[in-house]
Structure 1
């Protein structure tokens, strides 16, 4: 009997294994079951990537009964529908896109089934459904899905979502997808889920593979009400793709703890960035450094450089400054481009200390506006002079936040740019009137919420307030042909020139008077706003930036929303910015000069007063404006809740530990199980 059982059981197991293998071989994409289901959540600046690998068949032979029915993907925002109205507490909106692994924006797509699909405005209880086509008879398909949070104003909010892949459109419907098992549910499907930390720490994996190498540290800095981890992620990936051109390991990083605190002032933000670079990002292998700042980030990184230069004078003697790049940054402030009462509101603190800095105000004992001091400081200039390249990318039009004259450091060949833009002067005059006398409210909203899409049309500077309001609901998205066919994309660079000291007109010269009194519409706001009372100050700040420094000025003609398109904030909804990022990577990172370069720092001026750097910043709840208050009070409530819970559990013995705490406990054990001293 026992010998019979020994025979029957193995035989039965062999039969079951053969049956399962036969069933696997017969399985095709027409299987209508759920293949993958998962739920997750995203906070501000977070994104997740899902890499789906699907085997159409197994082995070398193609099954005779194989079908090519599509798979289907659904991403659903599962937050309560009432949160659609909670814009300032969120907004609770997701961005998502799906593309094949082989997709590249420089390659033309001939098959419509291979076209990427995306949605930038997935609101609570809305979903994004995409077809995953199996139109080719190939063994393996791979798709990449990115999901990003669109939260702007608070660290406390999070967006819960679900992601589902099924063998039919019906299988991912609401009714059939309830209470389904989490994870992979098909033997032919493999899913790799990458979190924000995974995506930003890819360089650590490279270090483990290639061993210890010298490093080129690239610092990305975000703007007002923005973040590094999702808003500048596209730039990060494109820079990292140039790794093969570099002897050093490219380490692309940013500072994430300024998120939701960008109204606290350029000094406050820049100081924290500088300390993060010196104490957390720099190591013995760091031999080069580059800076890329978007919008306000251009000024924040400038202060950070001055701070490091003064407080850590040996840093830039040991680390070679390579690239200093700003993208649509208000290097002269944003005074002349504002309606009168918007300027008054900024001066009063509607955008916190940052708004006061940008409106060229003095406060807290400053002897002059911070931008005037920063741009003239020897602590900053001695480093800027040593950068291999100093480049500004500036939008010629369709940027409702940072006008051309301030992002391009004022001195520019405006007539040449206007000719290349090829626009009707009468239309531009009308649009200027609309901008400054009809749409100041739109301008205020743009300053407070720069990530909202607020422009439509191609005239300088922006379209009407009604167009702007419409664009909030329906963002202006790229055409399908633009996404799929590189030949349809026009050259966006209208001006690319290096400006040295000889290109800057002397005081009271004819060339200088032509600039200061120009009728060119690109300088209209600069020359007539406030009766020109800020012109001399802005001109002086521009001259400060140019002293002893050569600037490459790249002027861009982008479609709306140019301020966010210039950095390709989201891969497809801001795809008009692809050529700009391509230009940046190709000119600054792709053709890397491997020859050694020497640089010598000038001494810091002994006669200069550096209180504006060294004097501690006193934090106050009133350092921020209305939108900053949302995050500030949210953090206060979160801290109160945490401290209350800690007090309630202080006298109790913990019955569970976090994973991190367990690991720390294990590190303290000796081999015999005792606690190490």
Structure 2
């Protein structure tokens, strides 16, 4: 006989990337208000000591009322969004489900949404077992799986309850269960042209769980007929190298696209979004497709649309990490992928793979409607700013980046977005600083110390155009005019153009002493360098949003720090200047290839640690600081998806 206090029970196994979702609905027929949810990680507790070898064998879980949305305040000021990011073997997660306006669906029907996600990151050969219960007496629920070794060997019912799994015994309760395969199978309207979006996960990551929030946000907020897919066969295989990972994804994409077309489905355009290492993997997958068949996309009448990188090491990490870490990667840590990231040369071609990609895909990138970068300006030592933002940024007119160093742990620091009005403040002073900067860049007859300064400043600076409307949205106002650094016209009144110093100014800078030159460099807003060790620790012990942040959207600070177009004519690419670089010459060369005849939209974000995972919202609540980034990306898609006539109407 079933215990009347236990209404539902389910046991399941989740592997790497595994997601189980439950939609709980309860029809209220009396004054009962006590409903409890209990989740237990029923892996062996002793496995905690070795969990880093093949695990970690922990679970993520969140429980939210039916009406919760991160950008809407809850109807009542109740703290009823619950999540646990580290449910370890033997541990439990107990929640009381409240019947109120936040959970009310209609009439007397109330509901909650629950996600249970595997946190395994290393291998696809291990799994985590869990036991889930719902009932009206928490004490009874605790007795069912009490103790560290209860119900370890079977997923069937036991002597305590004799219940069938995944079947509600209370007629007032209904439970709908979804697997990760169910969740990733959301179809578009196949009777209309499809916008195919390919998501690619990063290092020690997986598609199904780690890119889930991004997928569902795009589906819910982008006004287009999206079909979102990705390759899940690379999970746990990070060490294979960019070429191997990209080739496997490329084969998958060829099969996916041709299969869709064979069914009569029209793919109007395709977009690619890659997080971290996924940015490089998606680039090589595109190269594989084009090597397989030249003009792969044009022959199928598919327009490459958005190419998006989120904290991706496009220039490798050769100049961003310590010598010891670089040496370890070169020796084979992370396998071939580690050697790719340190720009090690290929034995066959004698060149680094990352050096070849921008050349091989130059025409493809030119065919893309939009090239977009999201990069962490602080708190990301895994993929630091200079490699994720392709080196060149306008630090002259940027807001005070250095202040972030002193406030990086203060969630209330108000950075905001750079508006057109703010970028023109103190116009004459800003213009003068920029003239001095260009002088330092191009004056080749300075002392050794000033030459060193020139190289440093040049490789991190370029001009960008503001990309904000008065309302603060992401709609581009106007791309700046294409002015080269060698233009002899007087642009002192044009804040969107690059300049060349007058002869008088150049002579003044020529006689500048070293201390004065260093003062000019200090006037720039250079970001603090992130610590890879600190970032690694932050992925394990990371600050998580508190309840005020979760339930009160009005109290959150903006996360978009800088949003501008960078035009290729404004990037210093003169051969004479390129010859200045010594140690970082590889990265400079790669960065210049990415900018050759290509215009980029660069979006810098300010997030608390763990910024590298927050930027993609790897987990919905523990990485909730990145919600604003994903909201911004959805808006970017809406802006770029609009047809020309629609864009014109929106501007009017």
TM-score (norm 2): 0.72
CA offsets, 1:389-430, max 9 Å, x none? 1100000011120010000000001344461563357999xx
Contact persistence 2:573–2:592 (CA under 8 A)? no
- Show the counterpart of 1:589: 638
User: Using a 3 Å threshold, how does the CA distance of structure 1 residues 299 and 427 change in structure 2: closer, same or farther?
Assistant: closer
- Show the counterpart of 1:539: 588
For residue 164 of structure 1, give the secondary structure of its aligned residue in structure 2: strand
Structure 2 Cα separation of the partners of residues 159 and 486 of structure 1: 34
Task: Please say if 1:387 is aligned against 2:359.
Answer: no
User: Using a 3 Å threshold, how does the CA distance of structure 1 residues 465 and 404 change in structure 2: closer, same or farther?
Assistant: closer
For residue 584 of structure 1, give the secondary structure of its aligned residue in structure 2: helix
- Show the counterpart of 2:497: none
Number of aligned positions between the proteins: 500
Contact persistence 1:316–1:383 (CA under 8 A)? no
- Show the counterpart of 1:484: 551
Superposition deviation, residue 172 in structure 1: 1.8
Contact persistence 2:381–2:531 (CA under 8 A)? no
Contact persistence 2:381–2:534 (CA under 8 A)? no
Matches within 5 A, 1:228-267: 228-242=207-221, 245-246=223-224, 249-267=225-243
Aligned residue among 79, 102, 107 for 2:43: 79
Contact persistence 1:113–1:133 (CA under 8 A)? no
User: Using a 3 Å threshold, how does the CA distance of structure 1 residues 159 and 129 change in structure 2: closer, same or farther?
Assistant: same
Structure 1 Cα separation of the partners of residues 405 and 205 of structure 2: 34
Contact persistence 1:99–1:115 (CA under 8 A)? yes
Matches within 5 A, 1:259-658: 259-282=235-258, 283-284=260-261, 285-317=266-298, 318-377=301-360, 380-417=361-398, 419-420=400-401, 422-423=403-404, 460-462=528-530, 469=537, 471=538, 474-507=541-574, 533-589=582-638, 592-595=641-644
Structure 2 Cα separation of the partners of residues 337 and 36 of structure 1: 52
User: Using a 3 Å threshold, how does the CA distance of structure 1 residues 298 and 424 change in structure 2: closer, same or farther?
Assistant: closer
User: Using a 3 Å threshold, how does the CA distance of structure 1 residues 327 and 426 change in structure 2: closer, same or farther?
Assistant: closer
For residue 414 of structure 1, give the secondary structure of its aligned residue in structure 2: coil
Contact persistence 1:50–1:191 (CA under 8 A)? yes
Structure 1 Cα separation of the partners of residues 405 and 16 of structure 2: 41
- Show the counterpart of 1:158: 127
Structure 2 Cα separation of the partners of residues 462 and 535 of structure 1: 18
Structure 2 Cα separation of the partners of residues 425 and 559 of structure 1: 13
Specify every segment of 5 or more residues in structure 1 that has no aligned partner in the other structure, as ranges: 1-30, 58-65, 429-458, 517-531, 598-677
Specify every segment of 5 or more residues in structure 2 that has no aligned partner in the other structure, as ranges: 147-157, 410-526, 647-652
- Show the counterpart of 2:28: 56
Structure 2 Cα separation of the partners of residues 417 and 294 of structure 1: 25
TM-score (norm 1): 0.70
Contact persistence 1:357–1:369 (CA under 8 A)? yes
Contact persistence 1:496–1:553 (CA under 8 A)? yes
Cα RMSD for the two superposed structures:
2.6
Aligned residue among 116, 121, 133 for 2:86: 121
Aligned residue among 122, 142, 145 for 2:111: 142
Structure 2 Cα separation of the partners of residues 467 and 543 of structure 1: 28
Superposition deviation, residue 213 in structure 1: 2.8
Structure 2 Cα separation of the partners of residues 259 and 201 of structure 1: 19
For residue 198 of structure 2, give the secondary structure of its aligned residue in structure 1: strand
Superposition deviation, residue 91 in structure 1: 0.9
Superposition deviation, residue 238 in structure 1: 0.7
Contact persistence 2:381–2:535 (CA under 8 A)? no
Structure 1 Cα separation of the partners of residues 533 and 336 of structure 2: 27
Superposition deviation, residue 218 in structure 1: 0.4
Contact persistence 1:68–1:135 (CA under 8 A)? no
Aligned residue among 26, 35, 46 for 2:18: 46
Superposition deviation, residue 142 in structure 1: 1.0
- Show the counterpart of 2:483: none
Structure 1 Cα separation of the partners of residues 64 and 407 of structure 2: 43
CA offsets, 1:172-191, max 9 Å, x none? 21358863213211000011
Superposition deviation, residue 467 in structure 1: 9.3
Superposition deviation, residue 139 in structure 1: 0.3
Structure 1 Cα separation of the partners of residues 33 and 212 of structure 2: 34
For residue 256 of structure 1, give the secondary structure of its aligned residue in structure 2: coil
User: Using a 3 Å threshold, how does the CA distance of structure 1 residues 269 and 466 change in structure 2: closer, same or farther?
Assistant: closer
Return 347-356 or 304-313, whichever deviates more. 304-313
For residue 613 of structure 2, give the secondary structure of its aligned residue in structure 1: helix
